[in-house]
Structure 1
Amino acid sequence: MQGSTKSPKKAAQKQEPYHVIHKLPPGDTPYVRAKHLQLVEKDPEAAIALFWKAINVGDRVDSALKDMAVVMKQQNRVEEAIEAIKSFRDRCSKQAQESLDNVLMDLYKKCGKLEEQIELLEQKLRMIYQGEAFNRKPTKTARSHGRKFQVTIQQETSRILGNLGWAYMQQTNYATAEMVYRKAQTIDPDANKACNLGLCLIKQARYGEARSVLEDVLHGKFCGSNDPKSRNRAHELLEEVEPWQSDAVFPSTSEISLEDCFFELMKQSSPHRTRRLPIFEEISPFRDQLAC
């Protein structure tokens, strides 16, 4: 009878340290014990208590605050997580601020805080405008589903504007959302934002313009036009337009000036400049009308 042989993969795994197998940091600090409770013992409440301790004693504060907020979100302690980030982010490094903003944005979305989302997104746009984003570099390395890729300032600006447009959509402030989406499309156009722009126009009963934008998606004029999800959404929105006349003429905000190219101003600006971003100047009349 032949003895059983173990696969090389299992044999190698047996030789690996415990913390490597469980994807834990090495050591026996409060942060390490918190991660063990979170990932191995699946005890989120005990993990949160140790994350608090790690923050208070200065043990990997960047990671401890972010991880604690994520666990709190999973436990539906969203308001508490928001307050924790606001209270303790000044203890974190400059490099951690962007990832904390991303966690904070997810928390705002989770509890429907639209004004807070808008304020944070506008703040991120100001940082780009003043040249403070990406550690003053033209690109940054991002990660998604385990893959690394480069993101340019233009792509990030368009992404933020897209999120800002969606927040205005949730407020039913479609005129402002349209202006923001049009600005985003001049910087880095894509099919998803085109569909959202089409929806803005539909909500304003500007069916002819909406049809034109959505047909451009189906004709492959945008990045991502071949994505089945975007194409299906464009088809669904066109079905909403179908009962209405497509040749009616409606006033279009696309004729509103989008002068002062965002990036040219960004290059010319200094960190002490107080002038508002062009996009804020353009959307202010719509926000003021909504407030009235």
Structure 2
Amino acid sequence: MEMKNTTSYKKEKDLFHVIHKVPSGDGPYVRAKHAQLVQKDPDAAIVWFWKAINVGDRVDSALKDMAVVMKQLDRTEEAIEAVKSFRGLCPKHAQESLDNVLIDLYKKCGKVDEQIVLLKHKLKMIYLGEAFNGRPTKTARSHGKKFRVSVRQETSRLLGNLGWAYMQKSNFMAAEVVYRKAQMIDADSNKALNLCHCLVKQARFKEADLVLQDVLCYKLPGSDDIKSMIRAEELLLELNANQPTSPLNSNLPGLNFEDDFLEALERVMNEWAPNRSKRLPIFEEISQFRDQLAC
């Protein structure tokens, strides 16, 4: 009877961990997750996450999870300092995900310049073949679901984020170049709408209309998404209200293109890896972009 009760208790305990998505065990990291997910006590969770980091209990997971909880409590600056200070205790394979956490935190508190630096670093790692720990794909997680991400998809995603960061600085020419490269790799409606917005801001209405038509005609993935449809209609109204009156004035505000990374992305890539034979096929494709513009 006692053995039966013990077995039943073990099954209930295992079921509890499955239902609440809490790891098994009794260390500080497990207690932190219990406070976070079961007790719904973020302050207590942070205390336990700190203890986990200090005693070396799943440091990378504790650091990432603590940063997420701190962000929810609007303690973003503190989360940034924690990640930067303690990421050295984490294994190499955890650094990419920690970079993603930092980018998200920078975005939350409006540190655009820091975002740009880190996004360029991640693109450099992809170019050198060091992303995904040298593998062509990786497993990612979103809203509790796992899925595979290819280097190609990750490159396009990072370029899209870089374009968005430049848009926040009103550097629409730089953002345009980045979005065009991202679309060449893995096109979708969201990046197309952002590209259209950049062209509108440069008073290049005919080019903007051509980009917008791909969304309005449902030629791109995500074109039928309700948010994309609403935004596309808004951009169309803006285009209809504006007519080109003169050639593009290079002195228009927001056209600062001083960034060498964007002035010649292929040249900077060569500086990253002088041996061109090591370049990923992705970058071989996008390096022809300037030649296409010249035609």
Given the two structures, how large is their TM-score scaled by the length of structure 2?
A: 0.78
Q: Does 1:185 align with 2:194?
A: no
Counterpart pick for 1:268 among 256, 263, 277: 277
More moved, 244-253 vs 26-35? 244-253
CA contact (8 A) 1:208 1:249 kept: no
What residue in structure 1 maps to residue 86 of structure 2? 88
* Counterpart Cα distance in 2 of 1:134 and 1:237: 37
Q: CA deviation at 1:248?
A: 6.6
TM alignment of 1:32-43, pairs within 5 A: 32-43=30-41
Q: Does 1:99 align with 2:108?
A: no
CA contact (8 A) 2:209 2:239 kept: yes
* Counterpart Cα distance in 1 of 2:90 and 2:220: 39
TM alignment of 1:1-292, pairs within 5 A: 14=12, 16-245=14-243, 250=248, 268-269=277-278
Q: CA deviation at 1:233?
A: 1.4
CA contact (8 A) 1:185 1:193 kept: yes
Q: CA RMSD in A?
A: 3.0
**Overall identity of the aligned pairs, in %:** 64
* Counterpart Cα distance in 2 of 1:22 and 1:162: 34
Which residues of structure 2 form unaligned runs of 5+? 1-9, 256-262, 280-285, 291-295
User: Residue 206 of structure 2 aligns to a residue in which SS?
Assistant: helix
Q: CA deviation at 1:101?
A: 1.4
Structure 1 residues 19 and 142, CA gap change in structure 2 (3 angstroms):
closer
Which residues of structure 1 form unaligned runs of 5+? 1-11, 271-277, 283-292
* Counterpart Cα distance in 1 of 2:68 and 2:37: 13
Deviations 1:166-215 (A, max 9, x none): 00000011111111111111211211111100000111111111111101
User: Residue 84 of structure 1 aligns to a residue in which SS?
Assistant: helix
Structure 1 residues 61 and 259, CA gap change in structure 2 (3 angstroms):
closer
